[in-house]
Structure 1
């Protein structure tokens, strides 16, 4: 959603656009060559058992493209000042919060163990002022061109929203409070339902957690996909999860506070008894007591009048 721009907005956006085309990193170099341990860790975390990622002729999963360019906690010394200067301008305009919105990747050649990864990054675009449910600000898109041993390997576009948080609704004081008109709680974001995952959400409405199963090789998969990632067969049926699982990994969300969410809370990658993994909230256990290996069991939480979600309650159930 774009609001009508005032002249001052147009001048500010014109200033922001002077950063388009400026380098964010030049002649960057990955801290490590493409290597089997990182590939293995990635595949284990993603639950991806594709045989192309193991053995003497292994390639790296294409979606790892950005991972090889990350600078870790110490960062990269080849980063330019343009990105910091742009952020200072946006901070000065009140856009002090940031959230990652999406990324796009294009693959030109596979990456293999031993490849040396280099890259250049450029600030590709800065949007006009936009108004979202989080607040008002500007989308900044960075394009990274990745090379392997000097050859083009892929392109990674990363988009963030730098925004001024929307004001929270003010509740009335005691002298003006109207108990009969309590402020309505904001609704949770709606899940994106399409032809590939419609069956999963149909199951949730019936309080069933359904896992896809390839009818050709019998491999279970989650999240739902249009084809098997083990044998590529498009044919599948479903099995119903028992609901038992353990916490495989987790994070505790503290900031920023979004409408309809009350941080801090724990979000976990749960390994189900069937062997697949699913992301969900942990309930029944204080957020600071969640641990890897914690037994959990499935339950369904109604968050508003039209949305119910699978969550996991701590304890053996």
Structure 2
């Protein structure tokens, strides 16, 4: 696509910013206890705030109350479909969801009637990614309970033309593939900053002092948004594990940190001495020697020039 054509397409896409995609949408069910219970059971969330006569809905259920199911919602405008059609028409026929953001302004409780409006908030300039070239489209949904704004939900997709998958050049073949990058956001940035300093940091609630991992914006136990951190000792045990056989991923090849060459490797749920659990790799023993209850110790793996990861080495003499 020439630069002139790309600029014309972008101008047409920008015209959709601010246009409504849903007007006067209504939740198909009132906020209700059975859906809250099913959600909490699926998430393993036992916070007492989500049960009993004064129950509130978990804030992360915000979007769940707006879902239209197979029949969709009344009030859907044609603007969003037109935008997607325009992108399809110029060759951006593939789509991938990239991320979402939510803001919570007031709790939702059983009996609340949910209404919402959605708008096309932004369309990015043309971007080139590893998947291909296209545009990021962000929609914002304003969710109301009894007419009062309860929260917002932003959802972002990439509409793109897939990159050509030609055979790699010899120089590319010789370069070691890079590990997938972790998603770093405002909620977990402090954890990854700690990793760069070889510190494994666990969140601790300021209110009830409960430790939690992975990092979250609020406490599952008491709901407090305030927290500090404690540094893990690095001692732990294998609580559970799986062995990855397929598909093979060339980035996970044999090093002094991994016992299996370009084949199966162990992904474990590690229970730290502090009581929280985290997912990582077990290294230092073959994948078929990893066992539940195996003692492990934290170390940091330099995966490439930009990425360092916490992994857990089997304590000497603990192999099966």
Shorter-chain TM band: 0.5 to 0.7
How many residues align structurally? 288
Quote the offset at 1:112 in angstroms.
0.6
Matches within 5 A, 1:108-257: 108-168=105-165, 170-172=167-169, 182-189=174-181, 192=184, 196-198=190-192, 201=195, 211-213=202-204, 217-224=208-215, 228-230=219-221, 232=224, 234-239=227-232, 242-246=236-240
Q: Check conservation: 2:184, 2:192, Cα contact below 8 A.
A: no
CA drift at 1:130: 2.0
What are the superposed Cα offsets for residues 124-180 of structure 1, whole Å, 9 maximum, x if unpaired?
2222212233322111111212122333322222221111223345335xxxx689x
Aligned-partner Cα distance in 2 for 1:296–1:5: 60
CA distance in 2 between counterparts of 1:199 and 1:178 reads 33
Question: What secondary structure does 1:66 align onto?
Answer: helix
Q: How far did residue 217 of structure 1 move?
A: 4.2
Q: Deviations over 1:27-52 (max 9, x none)?
A: 32223221223323434444544443
CA distance in 2, matches of 1:154, 1:302: 40
From the superposition, tell whether residues 178 and 216 of structure 1 become closer, same or farther in structure 2 (CA, over 3 Å). Answer: closer
TM-score by length of 1: 0.67
> Cα–Cα, structure 1 residues 136 and 67, in superposed 2: closer, same or farther, change >3 Å?
same
- How many angstroms does 1:238 deviate by? 4.5
Contact 1:196/1:226 (8 A) holds in 2 = no
**RMSD value over aligned CA atoms?**
4.7
Q: Which runs of 5+ in 2 are unaligned?
A: 253-263, 313-318
Q: Give runs of aligned pairs for residues 48-127 of structure 1, distance below 5 A.
A: 48-72=45-69, 74-78=70-74, 79-127=76-124
Note the residue ranges of structure 1 that are not aligned, 5 or more in a row: 286-293
Q: Separation in 2 of the partners of 1:124 and 1:157? A: 9
